Amino acid sequence: MTELYAVRMDVALPPDMDPAARDDLLAREKAYSQQWQRSGHWPHIWRCVGQYANLSVFAVDSNEQLHQILWGLPLFPHMSITVTPLAAHPSDIAQDPAHKSTAQTPAQDDAAQ
Amino acid sequence: MTELYAVRMDVALPPDMDPAARDDLLAREKAYSQQWQRSGHWPHIWRCVGQYANLSVFAVDSNEQLHQILWGLPLFPHMSITVTPLAAHPSDIAQDPAHKSTAQTPAQDDAAQ
Amino acid sequence: MTELYAVRMDVALPPDMDPAARDDLLAREKAYSQQWQRSGHWPHIWRCVGQYANLSVFAVDSNEQLHQILWGLPLFPHMSITVTPLAAHPSDIAQDPAHKSTAQTPAQDDAAQ
Amino acid sequence: MTELYAVRMDVALPPDMDPAARDDLLAREKAYSQQWQRSGHWPHIWRCVGQYANLSVFAVDSNEQLHQILWGLPLFPHMSITVTPLAAHPSDIAQDPAHKSTAQTPAQDDAAQ
Amino acid sequence: MTELYAVRMDVALPPDMDPAARDDLLAREKAYSQQWQRSGHWPHIWRCVGQYANLSVFAVDSNEQLHQILWGLPLFPHMSITVTPLAAHPSDIAQDPAHKSTAQTPAQDDAAQ
Amino acid sequence: MTELYAVRMDVALPPDMDPAARDDLLAREKAYSQQWQRSGHWPHIWRCVGQYANLSVFAVDSNEQLHQILWGLPLFPHMSITVTPLAAHPSDIAQDPAHKSTAQTPAQDDAAQ
Amino acid sequence: MTELYAVRMDVALPPDMDPAARDDLLAREKAYSQQWQRSGHWPHIWRCVGQYANLSVFAVDSNEQLHQILWGLPLFPHMSITVTPLAAHPSDIAQDPAHKSTAQTPAQDDAAQ
Amino acid sequence: MTELYAVRMDVALPPDMDPAARDDLLAREKAYSQQWQRSGHWPHIWRCVGQYANLSVFAVDSNEQLHQILWGLPLFPHMSITVTPLAAHPSDIAQDPAHKSTAQTPAQDDAAQ
Amino acid sequence: MTELYAVRMDVALPPDMDPAARDDLLAREKAYSQQWQRSGHWPHIWRCVGQYANLSVFAVDSNEQLHQILWGLPLFPHMSITVTPLAAHPSDIAQDPAHKSTAQTPAQDDAAQ
Amino acid sequence: MTELYAVRMDVALPPDMDPAARDDLLAREKAYSQQWQRSGHWPHIWRCVGQYANLSVFAVDSNEQLHQILWGLPLFPHMSITVTPLAAHPSDIAQDPAHKSTAQTPAQDDAAQ
């Protein structure tokens, strides 16, 4: 079974970090992240605007697997992480395939108030 | 141009609300949400486990359109909402199509530590 | 696979609630909780001292199942709930059966400092 | 008499700690923790997913003993700790042995809403 | 064994409470508190200046007893309570009787800086 | 006139402090604290369980004297301090000497609910 | 001896309060406040801009007197109050009368940076 | 026109600061503060008891002038500052000179409740 | 002299407010706001996306005038307001008119990193 | 389309930063800020009084552009940044040009209460 989690990661690197060490660390972080993205277990990663932070969604087998992935992040010692377990939402049209056939734009009037 | 935003909505309905009024309100909320989901502007909605809350992603034309959609929610007067503007993440493989061709599962060993 | 979660539930009932309605609500809550405890999915429930609150541990199949159990609590509309996903701890002796054979009391001296 | 407490420990090690000193510290922490686990005074320890943190339950003789155990943790100077005293919960089936004989799975329908 | 706890209780009564019901509630609270004070289990109660709140110290047999006392407070449904378990402090002169024989006033100079 | 205050002191020493300097600092802190305890101005000091912190009660002549005592603490530069002024509580039996003559244990039944 | 305290009071009246009851309450509050101002025990009261709140300074004989004044405020049940005990500041020129004789305006240049 | 502001300054000096540099810094801070006090623009400065902090009132020509004074504080890089703009309070007897002529002590009875 | 302030207003109307009373209240709020906007004292008002809130800038003669404007808002009893006094920023090109003559778009490259 | 955002930036430079490096950093920050101000994308920047902080408004093409501008700030590694997306406010007279022709000062009486 696949479990979904929203994960926010805030990064705080020491301002005086050695530039070469920093470049190496960030290169390893990127490679590690992309490896897991390609596996399908890290389907979404977005930058939070104006922050050294990302909001990600993970699709994993278990709490255990999620912890192993996060613990293995090269930036883990420099991160503050929050984890929100997710479940299907009863209003999600993906839960009700019939809805998918008639995509249309809601009248803007409906939303204006 | 399409802008992305993460939106968390926490709902607090009065415990003594009239059941019929409540059912009607929730039915209108669901219809409204699904209308915008079908339009493509509300691509993700997840339930936060154990909470009367959802985490959603919106893909809209502007700040203005996002506000109109949220303001129009039938549950808006009962919600506490936080909005996080999103941008592309430099490590996102969707930003680098070459990465997509060789999907593979990272060795679990790499993450275990 | 069984997933573990720590869940804290804080209850806030309206002080002027009708006593009979309150008694009925609490009786249904107790029955519901005990039904899930007997199933093995709710292995721990403790009272937080001086609080109308409990700390519980759930052992469930998925995020989804945990959400359904919590959402179904008769007291859910009156609760504030926090969920912490758990994983095995690398120092847990339950992860290393060899440790179990030589139970002993650590010398109190070791801890005194 | 045995008293129960929930204890959350968040660890923050300096990112630039000497690797050998760090390894030694963590080895001593693990040995110390397992010694107390084997004694029966530290019956539960779980990893909080995505955090350098654990949630533990202690079963000790007194506030004093709990403090001595925690104060003696090799990682104590690097930890932020919160302590929640626990008591028996009136809905706990362990308080009512008659409940234990008829374990069964609640119908999933009961929880779905 | 006697365990010590610091307990802060903040009271929030509805401003429109019936005055007679309020007087009755406060009279029962006072009687209940004084009964436990006389028993020796509630050795200190102080008013926090400018607050409808008190800071108390309890000396009880167990977490369980403390919870029963607090849960039984007539004002419990209107209170927000925090509990801090206490232990002996290594600098407390009560832990080292020899110190008690030479009471004296420290020179004010020592403290001025 | 004697004024009472509850004071909580949380200590945060640098983890890499020189051990000898640390030992000296702690010895001076202990001596300073005990000097004021013997004077009668620092009647209570308790360890907060699991914390490098204490909860104390001071009985001093004035705000000014309390500040001078706290400011003079050798650990002051490493402490975070909160001060709560206290007054007599109207339910305190020490305010009503007649209550003192008939100490008794409240029936446990009264508190159980 | 006179003790000084800074006190902030935030007022939250029910929006649907009866206008006559409200007018009466506010008139009593004003009279009560001015009575204590004239006595010299409430030397400063300022409105916090944009808030239904005031910042005040009290000069009283004791913690006890301050509590009695605040507890007696007609608006007390509708207020959230914070109390900060004050002492003389070592840089206060009022502590060093010699400074008072040569009032002058600091050159603006000194402060501009 | 003169504008009033309440300003709280919390100081956090590095514990390992060079003593001579620290003494020099504090001497410059004191001289700077007293210069502005003598000018009449800094009419009140109080020590917050038990804190390395002060609560001050400034009487300045403009937001701009207040910022220049605070920015110029030698301790500014080590301070956390909060600014609360103040206005006249409608209950302030200084706004209603007639009240000043009949100073009297309110009966303590009025405040006791 | 004109003083600038950033003001954030969060509105919380009772969900069960009478619709006609609500419409009247909002019409009066709008008229009042626009009157002050036309006067030049309320130069900016923006909606915070997804919130029943605005961020505004006021340009007024004094703290006193700002308070009178905010206190007079028909929605004041339903608002939570925060006020931030503003001053000129030393990097503002409006402080250095010479900068205005050569408007140009910074190369996007400069910002990309 | 132009999107508006309120951005608050709080700066925390290490107190022991090399003065020349600091001067260089601040000069680059100022030049970078003014370049974007001249482009029209950073229309407002104000100093928050008493803070090493600014409140700014950005007018940009997209979330992406805003992130690139902020990420490129020379002070970015030393800043804590919050971003609030803005939309037009329905009471803004700029949304209703007819209002602009009759600017007038509201009677002060209207606001006094």
Q: How far is I73 from chain J (nearest CA, A)?
A: 8
Residues 6+ apart with CB under 8 A from F87: E46, E47, E49, F4, G63, G64, G66, G67
Tokens in use for D76? 């104590």
What is the pLDDT confidence band of residue I1, given thresholds at 50, 70 and 90? low
Of E16, E50, E52, the CB nearest to G66: E50
Cβ of A6 under 8 Å from any chain B Cβ? yes
Phi, psi of B87 (to 5 degrees): -135, 170
Instruction: Report residue D81 CA to chain centroid gap.
Output: 11
Q: Are A85 and A5 in contact (CB under 8 A)?
A: yes
Q: Chain J residues with CB inside 8 Å of A52's CB?
A: 76
Of F86, F88, F104, the CB nearest to E39: F104
Angstrom distance (rounded) from CA C76 to CA C9: 9
3-state secondary structure of A107: coil
Predicted confidence at residue E104, as pLDDT, reads: 47
With contact defined as 3+ CB pairs under 8 Å, the chains touching F are: D, E, G, H
Disruptive mutation site among F63, F73, F84 for chain H (greatest number of H CBs within 10 Å): F63
Predicted confidence at residue J106, as pLDDT, reads: 54
Percent of chain J with pLDDT over 90: 81
Predicted confidence at residue C91, as pLDDT, reads: 97
Cβ of A13 under 8 Å from any chain J Cβ? yes
What is the number of CB-based contacts under 8 A between chain G and chain H?
Answer: 133
pLDDT tens digit sequence for C74-105: 999 999 999 999 999 999 999 865 554 444 44
By DSSP bridging, strand E3-11 and strand E53-60 are antiparallel
pLDDT tens digit sequence for D29-40: 999 999 999 999
With contact defined as 3+ CB pairs under 8 Å, the chains touching I are: B, G, H, J
| Touching pair H, G by Cβ (3+ pairs < 8 Å) | yes
pLDDT tens digit sequence for F76-90: 999 999 999 999 999
pLDDT tens digit sequence for B68-92: 999 999 999 999 999 999 999 999 9
Predicted confidence at residue E95, as pLDDT, reads: 82
Q: Which residue in chain C has the smallest CA separation from B46? A: C64
Predicted confidence at residue J99, as pLDDT, reads: 53
Give chain F's mean pLDDT: 88
What is the number of CB-based contacts under 8 A between chain E and chain F?
Answer: 132
Q: How far is C16 from chain D (nearest CA, A)?
A: 23
Predicted confidence at residue C97, as pLDDT, reads: 58
Q: How far is F17 from chain E (nearest CA, A)?
A: 21
pLDDT tens digit sequence for G26-74: 999 999 999 999 999 999 999 999 999 999 999 999 999 999 999 999 9
Q: Chain F residues with CB inside 8 Å of D81's CB?
A: 50-51
Angstrom distance (rounded) from CA J105 to CA J99: 13
- pLDDT for residue A42 is more than 60: yes
pLDDT tens digit sequence for E12-61: 999 889 999 999 999 999 999 999 999 999 999 999 999 999 999 999 99
Cβ of D110 under 8 Å from any chain C Cβ? yes
Cβ of B30 under 8 Å from any chain C Cβ? no
Report all structural domains of chain F as residue ranges with CATH numbers, in order of start: 3-89 (3.30.70.1060)
CB contact under 8 A, F87 and G63: yes
Q: How far is B48 from chain J (nearest CA, A)?
A: 23
Give H 66-105 residues with CB within 8 A of chain G.
68-69, 71-72, 84-93, 96, 99-100, 102-105
- pLDDT for residue A104 is more than 80: no
Angstrom distance (rounded) from CA C54 to CA C46: 5
Q: Are G4 and G59 in contact (CB under 8 A)?
A: yes
Q: How far is I13 from chain J (nearest CA, A)?
A: 17
Give chain I's mean pLDDT: 89
Disruptive mutation site among I25, I37, I57 for chain J (greatest number of J CBs within 10 Å): I37
Angstrom distance (rounded) from CA J86 to CA I45: 10
Q: How far is G21 from chain H (nearest CA, A)?
A: 19
pLDDT tens digit sequence for I50-97: 999 999 999 999 999 999 999 999 999 999 999 999 999 999 999 865
- pLDDT for residue A109 is more than 60: no
pLDDT tens digit sequence for I94-107: 986 555 544 444 54
- pLDDT for residue A113 is more than 80: no
DSSP designation for E17: -
Q: How far is G23 from chain F (nearest CA, A)?
A: 31
Looking at residues E77-95, what average pLDDT do you find?
Answer: 96
What is the pLDDT confidence band of residue A110, given thresholds at 50, 70 and 90? very low
Cβ of J50 under 8 Å from any chain H Cβ? yes
Looking at residues D71-100, what average pLDDT do you find?
Answer: 90
Disruptive mutation site among C60, C81, C84 for chain B (greatest number of B CBs within 10 Å): C81
Least confident interval from B93-102, D15-24, I1-10, J75-84: B93-102
What is the number of CB-based contacts under 8 A between chain A and chain D?
Answer: 22
Q: Are D65 and D11 in contact (CB under 8 A)?
A: no
Q: How far is E27 from chain F (nearest CA, A)?
A: 10
Q: What is the ipTM of this complex?
A: 0.85
CB contact under 8 A, I83 and G13: no
- pLDDT for residue C59 is more than 50: yes
Predicted confidence at residue D102, as pLDDT, reads: 45
Angstrom distance (rounded) from CA G69 to CA H98: 23
Looking at residues A1-23, what average pLDDT do you find?
Answer: 94
Predicted confidence at residue C1, as pLDDT, reads: 66
Cβ of D62 under 8 Å from any chain E Cβ? yes
Predicted confidence at residue G107, as pLDDT, reads: 45
Residue position matching structure tokens 């936060």: B48
Disruptive mutation site among H4, H84, H104 for chain G (greatest number of G CBs within 10 Å): H84
Predicted confidence at residue H95, as pLDDT, reads: 83
- pLDDT for residue J100 is more than 60: no
**CA-to-CA separations, G90 to F64, F67, H23, H54, in angstroms, rounded:** 11, 12, 14, 10
Looking at residues J4-9, what average pLDDT do you find?
Answer: 98
CB contact under 8 A, I81 and G47: no
Looking at residues J6-25, what average pLDDT do you find?
Answer: 95
CB contact under 8 A, C38 and D87: no
E104, E108, E109, E110 alpha-carbon torsion, rounded to 10°? 60
Q: Which residue in chain J has the smallest CA separation from H9? A: J50
pLDDT tens digit sequence for F21-63: 999 999 999 999 999 999 999 999 999 999 999 999 999 999 9
- In H1-113, DSSP assigns E strands to 3-11, 44-48, 53-60, 79-88
Predicted confidence at residue I108, as pLDDT, reads: 40
Looking at residues I3-16, what average pLDDT do you find?
Answer: 95
Instruction: Write out the DSSP string of D67-108.
Output: HHHHHT-TTGGGEEEEEEEEEE-TT-GGGSGGGGGG--PPPH
Instruction: Write out the DSSP string of chain J.
Output: --EEEEEEEEE---TT--HHHHHHHHHHHHHHHHHHHHTTS--EEEEETTSSEEEEEEEES-HHHHHHHHHT-TTGGGEEEEEEEEEE-TT-GGGSGGGGGG--PPPHHHH--
- pLDDT for residue H8 is more than 60: yes
Predicted confidence at residue C99, as pLDDT, reads: 53
- pLDDT for residue C9 is more than 70: yes
Q: Which residue in chain F has the smallest CA separation from D68? A: F50
Of J4, J64, J67, the CB nearest to B63: J4
Q: Which residue in chain J has the smallest CA separation from I48? A: J86
